């Protein structure tokens, strides 16, 4: 049985912040990543939460990510924002971009943000969620080191490459939030099983010859199984175009792994599109979204993407989150 300890969201953020700073991250870069870590734990996505803090710290110390990087914002066209993350954490670069993206999208109706020379942005839906909170429809893409083989092949060429869309609601929470990778399951879940010595279900990953495996270590040396077969590969390619080709970031086939210490900075990218629904649909947008949501919620047992995270998020605000004690011990060791 896994031992856990309950922490408040503030305690999770503070612990993450302290560990990142202790590892050599500037306070300006540590804070947005710590805030995202707490929000991720609140949503119940433990594989991307505190479990990643020791990895982030290791990557700062080995130079895979520059903890003191200063991202640079530019605006080459009226509706286009670029941020060079300077091989630093994605979260600080995204924060810098969002400060300009949100008012720009409100002013023009639509605006885009392209980020290059970046790093793992964690849960992509955390970022689109913030755009929805600002009353905008947020669409996001992020590429990753190659881990999915093409249809009919066995050598990875694209990453798990998630995309996310968040739609504003009337209560400060997104009415709808889709956040899904191009693989059957996020690679971090396979990594988590490998760390814990647990087998993975059939259908999560393939061995080096393209055969299904339940051994997470063999799967990590092979490839992730695409969601929906060739359709998942299509989603991965779409995201690669948006997050790497359109941003000038490194393609997944050339990016260093998000795990381990080898290879230097991955220099991957993120791409966000923010749309003001009032500019495109007038007063009809909210009615249409409410009708769509109700058509699903009115069916017994049916649920929308994001419903699970939403319920956990609201509970965590008052009850805190149960965190793996072994994970906490690793983080506390960084502070000694």
In this structure, are 18 and 149 located in the same domain?
no
Confidence of residue 47 (pLDDT cuts 50, 70, 90): confident
CATH of the domain at 332: 1.10.1530.10
Residue 110 belongs to a domain: yes
Q: Return the pLDDT at 171.
A: 85
Mean pLDDT of 326-334: 95
Q: What whole-number percentage of the chain has pLDDT above 70?
A: 100
Confidence of residue 153 (pLDDT cuts 50, 70, 90): confident
In this structure, are 13 and 77 located in the same domain?
no
Mean pLDDT of 95-106: 98
Residue 196 belongs to a domain: no
Total-model pTM: 0.94
Is pLDDT larger for residue 312 or for residue 153?
Answer: 312
If one counts the domains in the chain, the total is 2
pLDDT of residue 2 exceeding 90: no
Q: Return the pLDDT at 249.
A: 98
pLDDT of residue 300 exceeding 80: yes
In this structure, are 238 and 167 located in the same domain?
yes
User: Among 68-77, 127-136, 187-196, 327-336, which is the least confidently predicted range?
Assistant: 187-196
Q: Return the pLDDT at 59.
A: 98
In this structure, are 18 and 101 located in the same domain?
no
Residue 197 belongs to a domain: no
DSSP 111-166: EEEEEEEE---S-HHHHHHHHHHTT-EEEEEE--S--BPPTT--S--B----EEEE
- Report which secondary-structure segment, H or E, holds 81: strand 80-84
In this structure, are 152 and 278 located in the same domain?
yes
In this structure, are 158 and 263 located in the same domain?
yes
In this structure, are 50 and 173 located in the same domain?
no
- The one catalytic residue in 13, 48, 164, 240 is 48
Sorted by sequence, the CB contacts under 8 Å of residue 64 that are 6+ apart come out as 58, 119, 256, 261, 263, 264, 265, 266
Confidence of residue 173 (pLDDT cuts 50, 70, 90): confident
CA–CA distance, 206 with 225 (Å, rounded to integer): 6
In this structure, are 247 and 142 located in the same domain?
yes
- Domain range for 163 is 73-183+226-305
Q: Return the pLDDT at 93.
A: 98
Residue 260 belongs to a domain: yes
Q: Is 164 tagged catalytic?
A: no
Q: Which long-range contacts (CB under 8 A, 24 or more apart) does 325-330 make?
A: 325/2, 325/3, 325/4, 325/5, 326/2, 326/3, 327/50, 327/51, 327/53, 327/54, 328/5, 328/15, 328/50, 330/53, 330/54
Mean pLDDT of 17-28: 98
- Report which secondary-structure segment, H or E, holds 19: helix 9-22
- The one catalytic residue in 47, 164, 183, 227 is 47
Residue 121 belongs to a domain: yes
Confidence of residue 311 (pLDDT cuts 50, 70, 90): very high
Q: Is 48 tagged catalytic?
A: yes
Give, in order, the Cα–Cα distances in Å from 245 to each of 179, 268, 271. 21, 10, 10
CA–CA distance, 316 with 311 (Å, rounded to integer): 9
Q: Is 47 tagged catalytic?
A: yes
Q: What whole-number percentage of the chain has pLDDT above 90?
A: 83
CA–CA distance, 39 with 186 (Å, rounded to integer): 18
Is there a contact between 276 and 132 (Cβ–Cβ < 8 Å)? no
pLDDT of residue 144 exceeding 80: yes
Residue 172 belongs to a domain: yes
In this structure, are 311 and 291 located in the same domain?
no
Structure tokens at 121: 């942005």
User: Among 121-130, 135-144, 246-255, 283-292, which is the least confidently predicted range?
Assistant: 283-292
With CA atoms as reference, report the closest residue to 230 among 140, 305, 158.
158
CA–CA distance, 23 with 67 (Å, rounded to integer): 8
pLDDT of residue 279 exceeding 90: yes
- The one catalytic residue in 189, 193, 223, 240 is 189
pLDDT of residue 1 exceeding 90: no
CATH of the domain at 249: 3.30.1370.60
Q: Return the pLDDT at 154.
A: 85
Mean pLDDT of the chain: 95
| CA angle 37–38–42, rounded 5-degree value | 115
Residue 24 belongs to a domain: yes
In this structure, are 105 and 139 located in the same domain?
yes
CA–CA distance, 109 with 326 (Å, rounded to integer): 47
Residue 8 belongs to a domain: yes
- Number of residues that make up the chain: 336
In this structure, are 128 and 152 located in the same domain?
yes
In this structure, are 166 and 83 located in the same domain?
yes
Mean pLDDT of 11-34: 98
Q: What is the DSSP letter of 257?
A: P
pLDDT of residue 195 exceeding 90: no
């Amino acid at each position: 049985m896994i031992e856990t300890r309950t922490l408040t969201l503030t305690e999770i953020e503070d612990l993450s912040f302290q560990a990142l700073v202790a590892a050599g991250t500037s306070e300006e870069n540590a804070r947005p990543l710590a805030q995202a870590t707490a929000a991720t734990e609140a949503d119940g996505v433990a594989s991307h939460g505190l479990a990643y803090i020791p990895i982030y710290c290791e990557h700062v110390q080995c130079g895979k990510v520059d903890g003191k990087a200063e991202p640079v914002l530019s605006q080459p066209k009226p509706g286009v924002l670029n941020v060079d993350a300077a091989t630093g954490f994605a979260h600080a670069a995204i924060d810098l971009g969002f400060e300009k993206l949100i008012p720009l999208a409100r002013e023009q109706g639509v605006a885009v943000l392209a980020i290059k020379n970046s790093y793992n942005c964690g849960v992509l839906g955390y970022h689109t969620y913030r755009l929805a909170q600002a009353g905008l429809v947020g669409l996001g893409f992020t590429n990753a080191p190659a881990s999915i083989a093409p249809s009919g092949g066995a050598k990875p060429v694209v990453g798990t490459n998630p995309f996310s869309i968040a739609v504003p609601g009337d209560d400060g929470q997104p009415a709808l939030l889709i956040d899904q990778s191009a693989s059957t399951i996020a690679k971090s879940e396979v990594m988590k099983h490998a760390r814990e010595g647990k087998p993975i279900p059939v259908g999560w990953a393939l061995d080096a010859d393209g055969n299904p495996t339940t051994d997470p270590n063999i799967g990590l040396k092979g490839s992730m199984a695409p969601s929906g077969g060739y359709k998942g590969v299509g989603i991965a390619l779409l995201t690669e175009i948006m997050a790497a080709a359109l941003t000038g970031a490194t393609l997944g086939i050339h990016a260093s792994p998000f795990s381990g210490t080898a290879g230097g900075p991955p220099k991957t990218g993120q791409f966000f599109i923010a749309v003001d629904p009032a500019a495109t649909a007038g007063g009809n947008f909210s009615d249409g979204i409410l009708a769509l949501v109700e058509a699903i919620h009115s069916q017994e047992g049916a649920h929308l993407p994001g419903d699970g995270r939403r319920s956990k998020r609201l509970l965590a605000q008052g009850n805190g989150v149960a965190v793996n004690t072994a994970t906490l011990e690793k983080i506390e060791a960084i502070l000694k």
